[in-house]
Amino acid sequence: MSQVAETATPSPLTLLQEEEKLFQESVRRFAKERLAPHVRAMDEEGKFRKDLLREMFELGLMGIDIGEQYGGQGGTFFQSVLAIEELAKVDPSASVIVDVQNTLVSNAIERWATAVQKQKYLSRLATESVGAYALSEPASGSDAFALATRAVPDGEGYRISGRKLWITNAGEADIFLVFATVDPAAGYRGITCFLIERGMPGFEVGKKEDKLGIRASSTCELILDDVTAGFEQVMGEVGKGYKVAIETLNEGRIGIAAQMLGLAEGAFEHALRYARERKQFGKRIGDFQGVQFELAEMATQIEAARLMVYNAARLRDAGEPFVTQAAMAKYFASTIAEEVASKAVEVLGGVGFTKDYPVEKLYRDAKIGRIYEGTSNMQRVTIAKALLDAS
């Protein structure tokens, strides 16, 4: 028996470094103590509390892997993944706010911005400003580069006009990465990324979507009507916006996978607790084999998803190829999140179908995981192409 114990494969949780464990515990404590009491009200109101957003800045959750020279935490991508996972256990809306800030916006600026742009924007993102990533349009979803938003040169910069849809964090954001084409005839090679700020003439945050799930996370349209952007607001090279988008979204998919992993863990914890407490026919419902089988399957799916998410994040931090692993993690974690949340509702039975218990909300929140930052079908395409093109 002792030999088996010594050679058993450790859980991914035991593989965390001490610093990562402490960070994870601090996020978990914030989620349970400060976030949890307000989740239901924020979901019903469709609005994230400003005081909680300020606290997330104060805790460093909005600038996890932004360098210390800019006021950030100087952490790793993997730590961002841990934070997203822990927040999603309690409220996926909070996790997606942190996700977009870290894995998309600040990550893109860190990689593509000039030294002046980094100093200006990363310091704000780390301490006070929410960022948003504006790629999607009415006719540009999975076909991400079918952009209609135009950036026309005017001698002193560009004039940008167009409409963006489904932009996460737009309701709270002050800094926007806006993708527009400077030359429609050039196709994806005309796409350019611009740093746009709230309050610029011609720029407006439009309608906020009334959504099925993650309701406290704002999703809005953006209206750009002849917005003037100087040359200094171009991020990366002109015509290289497609590279900014592709590289950032590949990493962002790991963040979404972490969100779905945390959501599944949260739903499972509620189901397990209920199975231990609820009694029928004189014993705990968890003593019935039918419920045991469901719990066993849920736990196994979560463990597999956790391994995939952590592996993709570790590969990214190590500078190793990770695109296929990110697609697999996003595809699998979003699939099992929906399944686990559904089973959690069933374990709780009638009360699981009511708003008195959190599993109803987690079930609604899970649906978006198979849609945003690349649908499940797009992930399957990515995975299949990697397999077919491998030498």
| Domains of the chain with bracketed CATH | 2-129 (1.10.540.10), 132-239 (2.40.110.10), 243-389 (1.20.140.10)
Residue 113 φ then ψ, to 5°: -80, 160
pLDDT at residue 165, rounded to an integer? 97
Q: What is the pLDDT of residues 138-164, one digit of tens each?
A: 988 888 788 999 999 998 999 999 999
Q: What secondary structure letter does DSSP report for 131?
A: E
154 touches 174 (CB < 8 A)? no
The active-site residue, picked from 86, 172, 221, 373, is: 373
Q: What is the pLDDT of residues 344-389, one digit of tens each?
A: 999 999 999 999 999 999 999 999 999 999 999 999 999 999 999 9
Residues near 14 by beta carbon (within 8 Å), at least 6 away in sequence: none
Percent of the chain with pLDDT over 90: 92
Would residue 232 show up in a list of annotated catalytic residues for this protein? no
pTM for this one? 0.94
Q: Is 104 helix (H, G, I), strand (E, B) or coil?
A: helix
Measured CA to CA, the distance from residue 8 to residue 239 in angstroms comes to 51
**DSSP-assigned states of every residue in 227-273:** EEEEGGGEESSTT-HHHHHHHHHHHHHHHHHHHHHHHHHHHHHHHHH
Q: What is the mean pLDDT of each run of 10 residues along the chain (391 residues)?
A: 43 69 96 98 98 98 97 97 98 98 98 98 98 95 87 95 98 98 94 98 97 98 98 97 95 98 98 98 98 98 98 97 98 98 98 96 98 96 96 72
